[in-house]
Structure 1
Amino acid sequence: MIAALYVETDGCYFGLPGVDPWDEARDARLYAGPHPVVAHPPCQRWGRFWHGSTRKPHQFKLGDDSGCFEAALASVRKFGGVLEHPADSRAWEAFGLARPSRSGGWVSADFEGGWTCYVEQGFYGHESRKPTWLYAAHVDLPSLTWGRGEQRIPQWMIDRYGYEKARRIGVVAMVGGKDKTRIRNATPTPFRDLLVRIAATAKPKREAA
């Protein structure tokens, strides 16, 4: 059994054999084991716009996620598994984790048996490149598709906006209505399956390095 923490209600982790999904209603901060975890703690207060909209800056405090990242990190360290956050997440610095290289490969993240890497979800089914940082502990570390993928800009966007503006806008931002947020935040099925496979290799605490 794998516990999927901080996941979307009725999202891709629901109905998956061998996976126990914890959505907002269950409050994954309360997870007490014993199964390995795949954790997707909220990232809004750790990213580029942690302070809020550019039209209303400094509405929020950096890292004010009600303790979700801290709890997710503790669960991975205690029960084994993997945590996912956007690349360049400020949570890494806040919790003393080493930054991974954009060229790829796992690097030691801390003195808690943790490892971190840079990987793009675009290699695993996402609409955009979606650069991502992983933190894993007490698991087998697989070789992934490393490095940076090609910029995914359709020709019609370049023709309409020019290359630089099209690059800044990004493919996902051009999806209309509320769907762009859902698509941007979604975990594609191949990437979900990868994270579950990693967590499934977690060793009991007494065996962990």
Structure 2
Amino acid sequence: MVAVTGTGALAASGAAAGIVHVHVVDENGAPAANAVVYATPVDGKLPKRRPASTSIAQQNKTFVPLVSVVQTGAAVNLPNLDAIAHDVYSLSPAKRFELKLYRGIPPRPVVFDKPGLVVLGCNIHDTMIAYLLVVDTPYFAKTDANGDAVLADVPAERYRLTAWHYRQSDPKAQQTKEVDAATDNAVTFVMNLDTP
């Protein structure tokens, strides 16, 4: 279920860029933190931007952050901040790799050159897991503890706004709604999530 409300403020002001506020809740109305939302232009024209790099650390036998999102082509650093070695890997179709037992910072980041969900694990510590969603668009955000995210400075045009959460019963399922960044300033996604 998706609710969209538009104030029309950006359209009335003639602004060239839009801001879309996204709120994600579960089926009981509780805020859904760590949801990924991203906007893909309906016309398929993506700006030529160099993807920003990011880091997913290993600390206290945990991946930090649990959920990340990057644009296709982004380099991700995987520093090990623990005093023990980790063996980070993924068997996901979007990116298969393994960083064999290491401490500190690997010599090179891992480049994620294909869109899709990448689940990270550690061959030594089976409870360690992280989720990385690789998307083709530069317009993305992750919800905070209140289930809120903001897509700022998106050109004022039509988008397919997509929401994904790692606790969905089908981790590949995504909800999508077409919105106009010039007029649809607030979007709410209601997602059926498994108990953590």
TM-score (norm 2): 0.28
The answer to which structure has the higher helix fraction is: 1
TM-score (norm 1): 0.27
